């Protein structure tokens, strides 16, 4: 399904293929030979989503851009990149020939270099830079620039590293103190609600 959003319509190259139950919303551009499989959602919001030549977006993956912060935060998927089933990419750049396995997550303003690989269930946190051909092991968190890889059993280090990314600022422009979670989450919800309100005027193109 192609949906017109904020006066922008998706563009799919004639040589690409988009599954009939995938959903493309707004300024989404699918390049030559790319494939967008069943149940995937590509949502540009007020920004854009770009899928490069011969890239694969697998079943039920979510690619969502945003424009609620000071800097525009598109999603860019490079040529021949692979986005696995149930993967999520939010406002990030995935380099050419990068590989995201099933159930991986890449957060806002992260940049994955060419040939970077994120294994099953791993997280690449906000503002993280993965060098070319860098490997993130299964069920770990890659975070920072320079990048560190932390396993789930290092909870204290993870909490400190996540705090230092200032995720709420990177994703939503919210700068409330880390320790004031109730206020921060309320503000994040308000930002999201305001952004998503624009969907009331969406229209189905195809």
Please write the tens of the pLDDT for every residue from 93-151.
Answer: 999 999 999 999 999 999 999 999 999 999 999 999 999 999 999 999 999 999 999 99
201: number of Cβ within 10 Å: 10
d(CA 147, CA 107): 14
178 conformational bin, left if phi > 0, alpha if psi -120 to 50, beta if neither: alpha
Give the pLDDT score at 94. 98
CA gyration radius, the chain: 17
Give the pLDDT confidence of 151-197 residue by residue, as tens digits. 999 988 999 999 999 999 999 999 999 899 999 999 999 999 999 99
pTM here is 0.96
What domains are there in the chain, each with its CATH number?
Answer: 2-164 (2.160.10.10)
| Residue 206 pLDDT > 90 | no
- Distance, in Å, from the CA atom of 129 to the CA atom of 143, rounded to the nearest integer, reads 8
Q: Given this model, what pLDDT does residue 21 score? A: 97
Under a CB-based contact definition with an 8 Å cutoff, are residues 33 and 15 in contact? Answer: yes
Position 82 scores a pLDDT of 98
CA-to-CA separations, 73 to 42, 153, 205, in angstroms, rounded: 14, 31, 25
The pLDDT score that the predictor gives to residue 79 is 98
Check whether 71 has a pLDDT greater than 90.
no
Q: How confident is the model at residue 70 (pLDDT cuts 50, 70, 90)?
A: confident
Q: 141 has which bridge partners? A: 123, 150
Is pLDDT of 29 > 90? yes
Bridge partners, 109 (sequence order): none
CB-based contact 6:198 (threshold 8 Å)? yes
Residue 5, exposed/middle/buried by CB under 10 A (0-12, 13-18, 19+)?
buried
């Amino acid at each position: 399904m192609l949906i017109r959003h904020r006066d922008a319509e998706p563009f799919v190259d004639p040589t690409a293929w988009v599954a009939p139950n995938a959903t493309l919303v707004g300024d989404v551009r699918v390049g030559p030979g790319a494939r967008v499989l069943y149940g995937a959602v590509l949502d540009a919001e007020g920004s854009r989503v770009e899928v490069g030549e011969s890239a694969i977006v697998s079943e039920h993956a979510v690619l969502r851009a945003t424009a609620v912060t000071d800097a525009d935060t598109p999603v860019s998927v490079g040529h021949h990149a692979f986005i696995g089933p149930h993967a999520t990419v939010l406002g990030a750049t995935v380099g050419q020939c990068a590989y995201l396995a099933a159930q991986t997550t890449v957060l806002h303003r992260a940049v994955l270099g060419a040939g970077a690989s994120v294994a099953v269930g791993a997280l690449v946190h906000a503002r993280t830079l993965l060098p070319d051909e860098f490997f993130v092991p299964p069920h770990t968190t890659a975070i920072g620039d320079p990048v560190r890889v932390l396993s789930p059993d290092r909870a204290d280090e993870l909490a400190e590293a996540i705090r230092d990314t200032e995720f709420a600022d990177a994703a939503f422009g919210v700068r409330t103190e880390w320790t004031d979670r109730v206020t921060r989450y309320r503000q994040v919800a308000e930002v999201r609600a305001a952004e998503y309100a624009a969907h009331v005027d969406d229209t189905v193109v195809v």
